[in-house]
Structure 1
């Protein structure tokens, strides 16, 4: 069952009586400001250039210097 025109009119009158005309217009103004602020934030996010991702965090290397170790050289050193 849907709402008829009379039911919608009664609901509108009750809302006007409870909140008053000024309060409803104030809420709609705040709602509009919120939407415009959201759109502005989305545009700023889209305009910002992409940042480079941070370097990878990995396990410390075997030589203790923090530089990657070539596995072929590492095995040669351990053999001698």
Structure 2
């Protein structure tokens, strides 16, 4: 037994009445930009790191050596 279509529709209408369309649009936009920045930070973190293994030991090297 799970949540049906009618239950989801009722829940959506209650949330819409509580918050209003403008606030829901802002929340959706903020959530979308947060997910986008999280994904870009994760991919940037993978690109910046190079690693090599010496004698079973992981060694981290950074690309920019300042």
TM-score for the superposition, normalised by structure 1: 0.56
Unaligned runs of 5+ in 1: 53-80
Are 2:13 and 1:31 equivalent residues in the alignment? no
**Cα root mean square deviation, aligned:** 1.6
Q: How many residue pairs end up in the alignment?
A: 52
Highest CA radius of gyration, 1 or 2? 1
TM-score for the superposition, normalised by structure 2: 0.66
Structure number having the greater strand percentage: 2
* Higher RCO (CA-CA < 8 Å; seq separation 6+): 2
Q: State the alpha-carbon separation in 1 of the partners of residues 49 and 2 from structure 2.
A: 49
User: Which 4+ stretches in 1 moved above 6 angstroms?
Assistant: none
